[in-house]
């Protein structure tokens, strides 16, 4: 009986070892497909800010003018070329969940696939600068160097940021929109985000924070 029991023990151990070996060989075939998925690179699948967009749409000036009606703590300087970013969190920071939000999201991406040119048409109480591409580069160089990099900074010495504005993306009724502002204090220094605005009477105001754009802010 002892010999028989020992034989069954070794047989059981052999079966277990064979099972472990088979599991190790076959396990990759049953890997959760989600672990193999990669987040799509939006700069490849849906590049933004490509050249050739022409003039910024007239309706955009009304929105950004409304956002800068309050006194600012620093001089205002806007880049002449529109620019935006959509931080890539699980594919995109935008999380539309309603038809209206999907309309704004699609419109915003389409509007900013090309860079547009702003004109000095903002109705803002404070004086502001509108900087060409070369002037924007010089201003950012001055900001990065704190005026100590040998560049003749002149009028840019008083600046703290250069703002890049994105072209708004509207819902179908044109009473809500996505906008973006990037505040740059150097080539690799700044903050920004995409946020929602809404019409309140005849004026545009920032909408209440929600999950739609909650993840759409960034900082260098």
pLDDT tens-digit readout, 67-95: 999 999 999 999 999 999 988 766 889 99
What is the secondary structure of 129-140 as a DSSP string? EEE-HHHHHHHH
Hey, what are 18's tokens?
């064979």
Locate all alpha helices (DSSP H) within the chain, ordered by sequence: 2-26, 33-36, 42-45, 58-67, 99-111, 133-145
What is the secondary structure of 46-69 as a DSSP string? S---BS---BPPHHHHHHHHHHT-
d(CA 131, CA 125): 18
pLDDT tens-digit readout, 156-173: 989 999 999 999 999 999
d(CA 32, CA 48): 33
pLDDT tens-digit readout, 4-19: 455 554 555 555 555 5
Give this prediction's pTM.
0.79
Paired sense of beta strands 76-79 and 176-186, if any: unpaired
Residue ranges for the chain with pLDDT beneath 50:
1-4, 9, 21-36
């Amino acid at each position: 009986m002892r010999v028989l029991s020992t034989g069954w023990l070794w047989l059981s151990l052999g079966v277990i070892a064979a099972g472990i070996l088979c599991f190790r060989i076959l396990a990759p075939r049953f890997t959760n497909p989600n672990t193999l998925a990669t987040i799509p690179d939006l700069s490849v699948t849906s590049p933004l800010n490509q050249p050739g967009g022409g003039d910024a749409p007239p309706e955009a000036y009304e929105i950004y003018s409304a956002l800068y009606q309050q006194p600012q703590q620093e001089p205002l300087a806007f880049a002449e070329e529109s620019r935006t970013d959509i931080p890539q969190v699980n594919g995109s920071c935008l999380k539309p969940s309603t038809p209206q939000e999907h309309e704004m999201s699609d419109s915003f991406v389409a509007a900013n696939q090309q860079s547009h040119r702003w004109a000095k048409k903002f109705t803002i109480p404070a004086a502001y600068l509108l900087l060409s591409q070369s002037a924007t580069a010089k201003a950012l160089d001055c900001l990065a160097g704190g005026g100590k990099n040998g560049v003749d900074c002149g009028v840019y010495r008083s600046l703290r940021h250069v703002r890049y504005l994105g072209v708004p993306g509207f819902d179908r009724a044109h009473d809500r929109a996505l906008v973006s502002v990037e505040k740059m204090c150097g080539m690799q220094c700044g903050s920004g985000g995409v946020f929602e605005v809404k019409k309140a009477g005849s004026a545009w105001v920032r909408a209440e924070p929600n999950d739609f754009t909650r993840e759409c802010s960034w900082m260098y």
